[in-house]
Chains A and B, each alone.
Chain A
Amino acid sequence: MSADAARRFGRNRLALLGLALVAGLVLVAAAAPLLAPQDPVKQSLFEKRARPDAKHLLGADEFGRDILSRVIYGTRVALLVGTLAAAIAVVAGGALGCVAGFAGGWLDATIMRGIEILLAFPYLLLAIAIVSALGPGVVNTTIAVGVWGTPTVARMVRASVLALKETEYVRAARALGAGGPALVLRHILPNVLPTLCVYATLFMANAVLVEAALSFLGLGVQPPTPSWGLMVSTGRDVLLVAPHVATMPGLAIVVSVLGFNLLGDGLRDALDPRLRGA
């Protein structure tokens, strides 16, 4: 990030709040064993749905497990799935977009028709289809969310590559004898990266949400692994008698999605002022 961009970012209070939230999440995830007061999978049936008190600061769930500890460990699952899924989407989408945009012709047409087919699936349906095919679990959920994010990245990168391909410095590099791979890696990609960074951050918010949605539907992370979506799902049945069981993980989802969105918006404003308000 250039000094100019850093200054713009530093003046954006919401962006700083986003950064703080995300940094907080990362810290919580990293230090989960130190921070969690109890074992997140340890059951104590007679303490089921305990209200928040000194022993269980956020109360206990339907198995008497400590909700605070589960929310803390849930951060790990959310960030792990989010980060890896974002990596899948960025790497796969980036590669496809670069090849399609740079090569053009039939290769471009083939890749983009495939991408359009994937984009034609409504929100979440593609992820559900993938998980249904692969089976539930943390790894497959990550893959599903990553694949779900790939088409958008590919389209975005392709558009940037198409534009950059025609710029004078790329033409100059080509005239000086630079080959295709060199052009893409050394001259085009660095200029796509800021956009990609912004997108990846914003995608994290979606990834956390999709993971939660899949787990809520019982297709994502499997019990007893603490996942926020799963916690909301089981807490929903007791919403009227013990609202805290679903509310606490729900708040965690809200906070993390908010954090990534604010950070992503801030990054976009800082890196590409022309997009302000877009």
Chain B
Amino acid sequence: MKRGGARLATPLALLAAALALGALATPAAAQKRGGTLTIVRPTDPVSLDPHYETTAPGAWVYSNILESLIAIDEKLELHPKLATSWDVISPTRVRFKLRPGVRFHDGTPLDAAAVKFTLDRALKGTPPGRWASLAGPLAGAEVVDDLTVDVVTSEPFGPILRSLALVYAGIVSPTAVVKAGPDFSRAPVGTGPFKFVEWKTNTHVILERFADYWGDKAPLDRVVFRVLPEEGARMIALQTGDADMVLFPSPIQLAALRRDPKFAVHEATGLRVVFVGMHAKQPPLDDVRVRSALLHAVDLKAILANILEGAALPARGVLAPGVFGFKDMRLDQLYPFDRGRAKALLAQAGWNPGPDGVMQKGGQRLTLTWLAARGRYPKDGEITEAVQAMLRDVGVEAKVEWREWASAFTQFRGDPLSFHLFTLGWVTSSTDADSSLYPLFHSRQLPPGGWNTSRYANARVDTLVEQARRSLNQGERERLYGEAQDLLAKDMVWIPIYNTKEIVATRASVKGFGVHPVEYFLPLGKVWLDR
């Protein structure tokens, strides 16, 4: 850890590398300043306060207003941001040197007290911020001097640096928080390249260039985030020039956009896995043979080719390939699409075809209940319908209960969960396996506290993810996570469907934009308009 920290803490070398990369990426045309970038996306934020909003619609906006101590770049490497260097001074304490001369949008200076204030607010506030549920043993911060701060953990925490680079870890202005009270969530104040101007619910959020930004000032004058729930309407807005950038573009129109010189399609391999979750404590899914049968029944290739149509990659496990600790589960070899095997496994578990083709056991039909929403993840509704039909082909009747997202979300997060199946997505936002494997599969991480919606329980997996979380040896951590994923692959409580591609479509005049693999980040600080 010490060595890793030292390597990462060489800001000059990194800066030089970043400059070199920046020079390569800059097109021949000279960068132009000014203009308004209009972005259309399907949903409005719930809040613009990172401590209370951990979903993408809010983060897209506030990730341009607030900055963390450490930044994670498009290659998922860590860079100094508000901290210029850091040192691991004990297994539970990391000392950060803050960047001098940084000011918040309200004019107050960034100092160690602001960092402590931010961490205290997120981790010890009442109620604690949503970040707290993902922050592991992060305990808070201690002020050493004006520009030096120690971040402390209650026990050794392997992923600490990545945790501090999370989008929710943006440092807020204490003065603004105290002054605004609860209204801070509608008008956040940070140190980022853009400052907040206005938010009209379900209409738009407007940001403006922060003229006193400590780094390279943003070329854009303004950014306008508009809400357009309909995919078709968003694409039309791009075509007509009402919008410069579309988030969640229509997959089937991408091919045409790529051919058209007026537009550009930007993509990156995302970190989200969209899956059909199985409730491992709800009979008959408590039988691993039944769960395996469901995996064999799903024709992933057909779904990827015909529903996602190139807008996503086949899931290779419960983690995305970019995540630290990822191990390829080789699902295509472990659970190939094979209806015969699916039926054979069901037969082993005592389920045999009834008169209408639905499997039966002792007069009971193999009927599964399924909680799903539509429109939260790309093609989630279509996937649910397709898998439902595929399960029917092996004699499993699935009854889908469609809810709108907020209501479905409350159910997923609730306890008990009365459904057998649920369509959900999970993004490893910290880019470290810890923030997925621990909350999703540790037996004590049951909702509403944790995210083990499948109610998975395996003592060995518990031990492995605990050890990996405490270890500061990254090689050892990788090995532990590998073993945990091997066990998960055997017990399978998910039907992983796809790995997201983060895709953003823009007009060709939008320059300097790169998609971030972490879907929460929408970096606009270097974007400029060539028109």
Taking Cβ atoms with an 8 Å cutoff, the residues of A that contact B are 41-43, 45-46, 48, 62-64, 136, 218, 222-224, 236-241
User: In the docked arrangement, what's the CA distance between A237 and B305, Å?
Assistant: 17
Fill in one digit per residue for B234-250: 1 if any A CB lies within 8 Å of its CB, else 0.
Answer: 01000000000000001
Provide the bound-state CA to CA distance between A42 and B390, in Å: 10
Which B residue sits closest to A236, measured CB to CB? B232
B386:A63 contact, CB within 8 angstroms: yes
Does B25 belong to the interface (CB within 8 Å)? no
Most buried by B among A42, A64, A237: A237
Q: Is the CB of B232 within 8 A of A48?
A: no
Interface residues on B, range: 20 to 34
Neighbour of B231 across the interface among A41, A46, A237, CB < 8 A = A237
Contacts of B388 in A (CB 8 A): 224
Interface check B252, CB cutoff 8 A = yes
Q: Who on chain B is nearest to A48 by CB?
A: B306
Query: Are the C-beta atoms of B386 and A43 separated by less than 8 Å?
Result: yes
A241 close to B385 (CB less than 8 A): no
Name B292-312 residues within 8 Å CB distance of A: 299, 302-303, 305-307
Since A45-B306, A218-B374, A223-B385 are in contact, a sample of 14 more A-B pairs with Cβ atoms closer than 8 Å, ordered by chain A residue number, is A42-B389, A43-B385, A43-B386, A45-B299, A45-B303, A46-B305, A46-B306, A63-B386, A63-B389, A64-B306, A223-B400, A236-B230, A239-B232, A240-B253
Summarize B's interface: helix, strand, loop or mixed.
helix
Cα A194 to Cα B250 with chains together (Å)? 51
CB-contact partner of A237 in B232, B299, B389, under 8 A: B232
**B interface residues, Cβ below 8 angstroms from A:** 230-232, 235, 250, 252-253, 299, 302-303, 305-307, 374, 381-382, 385-386, 388-390, 400, 402
Which A-B residue pairs are the 10 nearest by beta carbons?
A45-B306, A45-B302, A43-B389, A48-B306, A223-B385, A241-B252, A237-B231, A222-B402, A237-B232, A46-B306
A62 to B389, CA, bound (A): 13
Known: A48-B306, A218-B402, A222-B400. A238 touches B252 (CB 8 A): yes
Complex contacts, B307 vs chain A, CB 8 Å? 45, 48, 62
A218–B382 Cα gap in the complex (Å)? 13
Contacts of B386 in A (CB 8 A): 43, 45, 63
- A45 CA / B230 CA spacing, docked (Å): 24
A43 CA / B253 CA spacing, docked (Å): 23
Question: B385 near A224 (CB under 8 angstroms)?
Answer: yes
A62 B253 Cβ-Cβ under 8 A: no
Q: Which residues of B contact A63 (CB under 8 A)?
A: 382, 385-386, 389
A136 to B381, CA, bound (A): 16
- Interface pairs (11), CB distance under 8 Å: A42-B389, A43-B389, A46-B305, A46-B306, A48-B307, A62-B307, A63-B382, A218-B402, A222-B400, A236-B230, A237-B231
Q: In the complex, how many angstroms separate the beta carbon of B200 from the nearest chain A beta carbon?
A: 23
Residues of A close to B400: CB separation below 8 A: 222-223
Which residues does chain A contribute within 8 Å of B303, judged by CB atoms? 45
On whether the beta carbons of B389 and A41 are closer than 8 Å, the reply is yes
